[in-house]
A = this chain, B = another copy of it.
């Protein structure tokens, strides 16, 4: 069910409440309005956003669709943004991304997200204590939310980095299919993440260059700061991808190397056993006239021959560094 909560800063007084607070706000005033919508449903979105506030139907639709990439659309009386957030899931190596849509006008901000957003909650809670957040304008409010969202990437990237390092260590210890499977899934996660983070970076670059009408010039530097963070994030993602590719290549080499070692053991065993078995076989033949069989020292001599053969092979293998 759609949940709407509203913050209204009027006459230096902050009021927080439900959808009814919107009526207390007038579009031509300097009162600041923040409407935060969770789990948007079409039957709520359409009357509120499209009809009452006159937001474009395509923008309103975008707040409902789950997969939209980060973007910016300019409209005469508001700017429309989509940002992507990250929901970290420590135990299952899974990173889910979610989006947050924002309508920024001269004196209002609408944020729409399908799942609970830690960033929005946090700013909501800080509003009463620090009313400057709203007072500096809806663009600064948006910055505060986006800044928190972007910073949520860092712990997740650290987790991915740890995962890769961990996988790498385990691969060098014991080369098993299972690790490969995990690596492949991790790689897909990182690729999906990359796919979201590059347009987000580009979007933040665009904002910080001053392309958005309703972001005030004196706040551009803040978005530039978020852009720098986002840039670092996408750089880290690229390093991680490279490292995963290298790990996969290394895995192949490690496995090949193990096979090599196993082959060595097999070859040494065969080389040491087969000649002795042949000697034993020869003196197991049943010919009537085999003089060696009659000798008193025949048996010890045969065994001695075996020892000499293996000693010779041992020296040969030692020389060629097989042992």
Closest-by-CB residue of B relative to A56 is B221
Tell me if A254 is interfacial: C-beta within 8 Å of chain B.
Answer: yes
Which 10 A-B pairs give the minimum distances between C-beta atoms?
A280-B281, A273-B274, A283-B285, A266-B267, A287-B299, A284-B284, A255-B256, A287-B298, A262-B263, A195-B235
Within 8 A of B (CB), among A178-202: 180-181, 183-184, 187-188, 191-192, 195, 199
Tell me if A250 is interfacial: C-beta within 8 Å of chain B.
Answer: yes
Tell me if A97 is interfacial: C-beta within 8 Å of chain B.
Answer: no
In the complex, identify which listed stretch (A26-34, A63-71, A88-96) lies at the interface while the others stay far away. A63-71
Which residues of the other chain, B, contact A187 by a CB distance below 8 angstroms? 242-243, 246
Tell me if A174 is interfacial: C-beta within 8 Å of chain B.
Answer: yes
Assuming A191-B242, A285-B299, what are 12 further A-B pairs, CB within 8 angstroms?
A: A183-B250, A188-B243, A195-B238, A245-B246, A256-B256, A266-B266, A274-B274, A283-B287, A284-B284, A288-B294, A289-B295, A289-B299
Which residues of the other chain, B, contact A278 by a CB distance below 8 angstroms? 273, 276-277, 280
A215-238 to B contact mask, C-beta < 8 Å, 1/0: 000000110110010011001101
Most buried by B among A174, A183, A254: A254
Within 8 A of B (CB), among A276-323: 276-278, 280-290, 292-296, 298-299, 302-303, 321
Instruction: Looking at the assembled complex, report how far the CB atom of A214 sits from the nearest CB atom of chain B, in whole angstroms.
Output: 17
Instruction: Looking at the assembled complex, report how far the CB atom of A217 sits from the nearest CB atom of chain B, in whole angstroms.
Output: 12
Beta-carbon contact of A172 and B177 below 8 Å: yes
Docked pose: A259 CA to B296 CA in angstroms = 45
Which residues of the other chain, B, contact A236 by a CB distance below 8 angstroms? 195
Which residues of the other chain, B, contact A296 by a CB distance below 8 angstroms? 289
Beta-carbon contact of A228 and B288 below 8 Å: no
Docked pose: A273 CA to B224 CA in angstroms = 72
Tell me if A239 is interfacial: C-beta within 8 Å of chain B.
Answer: yes
Indicate whether A265 sits within 8 Å of B265 (C-beta atoms), given known contacts A188-B239, A285-B286, A288-B294.
no
Docked pose: A282 CA to B225 CA in angstroms = 81
Which residues of the other chain, B, contact A53 by a CB distance below 8 angstroms? none
